[in-house]
Chains A and B, each alone.
Chain A
Amino acid sequence: MTSPADDKQNNSAPIIEFIDAEIKRGSQTIWSHGNFSLPRGSVTAIVGTNGTGKTTMLSAELGILPLSSGKLNVLGAPAGKNNARIGYVPQNYTEISESNITVFDFVLLGISGSRWGFMPSRKQDREEVNKILEFVRLQEHSYKRIRELSGGQRQRAAIAQALVNKPELLILDEPLANLDISSQNSIVELLSQLNKKMGMTIQVVAHDLNILLPILTGAVYLLDGHPHYSSMNNMLDSQLLTHLYGTKVEIITTPQGDMFVTHNSAMEPSSRTVHDEHLTKDAAQWHSAQQAQARLEANHHNHADSQESQDLQED
């Protein structure tokens, strides 16, 4: 049993701690000199271009992939020791078109999936699953097959399975990939609730920072083969982001105080081809009746031309 004093100490201790950590696959170093720690209750994005080792970092934290050198402590013990207190949602977890499993059974596996021997599921487990499904707003879909759900609902089902063990740390790999904007927002809203109401520490691998900005407390950048941590204050540095993505990036703060990251064509290097951008007015005009008629005629003309050339070919 932990005394209140211990709890307090635990609360201030970092949830994840990298000490000169390095990961290799074969002889190739994925990243090295990882020195940072993430505090309890933080929401951290892991950012980097493709192939920089974001998923590898998650695998290391779960102890699936050993470090080649250095130390990595998660929840106060070496990585892999405390996995029971971690919820993990891999990328495309619910792209399981081959399975007929229902949402309910899928979430239940989060509890019973590591139990050996065949016995009926326990009542308390089923109640727990129902509670979580209600929380992620999937209770009316609970007897649908996973493959019958929309992308956003699938992602919520995947998160529900991770939540059913009441984790202290939630790790998500690209949870917003392939989702439309409203589904992305609903996932971010869900993460925000988990963090604010339950104090859950969250780590998200992400490509697009914008939608996560309101809930982030910091980010880990995988850059030049090293992870760099920045807190929210230093995170949005356009030079850093530009360096990171290899394209000019600008930070914009609206009068309301919202910030977003944007691609700025005025800042583009001259070598880059023209950025395809149009005024709304212009775009709207293309759809006007007059233009449509003109386009139709042009098409018809083209079509006649191609018909002609086809005829010629046949001769």
Chain B
Amino acid sequence: MLYNPEWMTVLQTSFVQRAFIAGILISIAAAAVGYFVITRKSTFATHALAHIGLPGATGAVLLGIPVLWGMGLFAIGGALVIGALGKRASDREVATGSVLAFATALGLYFSNLSSGAAKQMQSILFGSVLTITEDQLIIFALFDVILVALLLIIFRPLLFSSLDENVARAKGLPVTLLGIIFMVMMGSVITVAVPAVGTLLIFALVITPADTAMMITRSPLRAIIATFVICLVSIWGGLLLSTIFDMPPSFVIVTISVVIWLVTKAIAAIRK
């Protein structure tokens, strides 16, 4: 940790400013799915999807196509499989964990095949929020618009079916389809959030803030808004502190998110 006296100048550079804008867009995406991931008990599946994306990302470098395309293809493909298997399948921890391990190994293998992928490995695993391009920002923004619009349409049925599949099914809701749609949303959000903190740390950005939000709020909508705020504070705070003190942004982002969660949990425990 080293104080950087030039930090004000660094903050004004275009790549840092792009990172701040990306922070907003990533927070919107994470907030849209985080609440439902926890309510649906699919947290482990989220973790797994991030890792399933890894071979896609390194494979994309190998083939010379954009990293996010490969990542997205694998994450969404994995999401479709988990979604089709149903909500209970996402609780199957051994199966999910084994697939997760295999995917990570495959990612390593692909990265071994090309020197380009090996160089990218670090940024895929741990994020590279400072390298986001303007084109990526436009794609993220379009993605957020689609994501939020879709969520607004399916909000209540998704919430209802997240609490109990059979009650929702008895009411005539397309529970399996909702599950698949949600999983695809999650796979896409992970693809978008990976540049911020990487596949290994994504849990702290998509799940941890949502859990904090659920401790301090009493309605799904408020929880989602609170998730957005906590995510944004983590990313922006992380960018600011990492610029001032010259630390890896991913480390500070994850630390802030986890510290907020720990403090909230401690306060909740004391109040009890």
**Chain A interface residues (CB < 8 Å from chain B):** 59, 62-64, 83-84, 86, 88, 90, 93, 96, 98-102, 105-106, 109, 112-118, 143, 145, 161
Contact = CB atoms under 8 A, between A and B. Distances in A.
A92 to B, nearest CB: 9
Q: Which 3 A-B pairs have the closest CB atoms?
A: A113-B160, A118-B152, A100-B214
A114 B170 contact: no
B157 interface: yes
Contact of B156 (A64, A90, A113, A145): A113
B156 A109 contact: yes
Contacts of A100: 214-215, 217-220, 223
Interface in B128-160: 152-157, 159-160
A59 B160 CA distance: 18
A90 B159 CA distance: 17
Nearest to B175: A64
A102 B219 contact: yes
Contacts of A161: 167
B92 interface: no
Nearest to B39: A99
A105 B39 contact: no
Interface string B179-219: 00000000000000000000000000000000000110111
Given A83-B172, A88-B170, A101-B220, A114 B39 contact: no
A113 B159 CA distance: 7
Given A116-B156, A118-B156, 14 more contacts: A62-B170, A63-B170, A64-B166, A64-B170, A83-B170, A83-B172, A93-B167, A99-B163, A112-B156, A114-B160, A114-B173, A115-B156, A115-B157, A118-B153
B170 A86 contact: yes
A59 B172 contact: no
Nearest to A121: B156
Q: Identify whether the interface residues of B are mostly helix, strand, loop, or mixed.
A: helix
B38 interface: yes
B214 A116 contact: no
Contacts of A109: 156, 159-160, 163
B178 to A, nearest CB: 11
17 contacts: A62-B166, A63-B170, A83-B171, A83-B172, A84-B171, A96-B39, A98-B39, A98-B41, A100-B219, A101-B218, A102-B219, A105-B220, A113-B156, A113-B157, A114-B168, A115-B157, A118-B152
With most chain B CB atoms within 10 A of its CB, the pick from A83, A98, A143 is A98
B164 interface: yes
B150 to A, nearest CB: 11
Contact of A114 (B152, B156, B163, B166): B156
A101 B221 CA distance: 10
B88 interface: no
Interface in B18-67: 38-39, 41
Contacts of B173: 113-114
Interface string B65-82: 000000000000000000
B119 interface: no
A99 B220 CA distance: 9
A253 B27 CA distance: 66
A83 B162 CA distance: 19
Contacts of A63: 170
A68 B162 CA distance: 29
Contacts of B160: 109, 113-114
Contacts of B157: 113-116
A118 B159 CA distance: 12
A113 B167 CA distance: 10
Given A98-B38, A102-B218, A113-B160, A88 B167 contact: yes
Contacts of A93: 163-164, 167
Interface string B82-118: 0000000000000000000000000000000000000
B167 A143 contact: no
A297 to B, nearest CB: 40
A90 to B, nearest CB: 5
A101 to B, nearest CB: 7
Contacts of B167: 88, 90, 93, 161
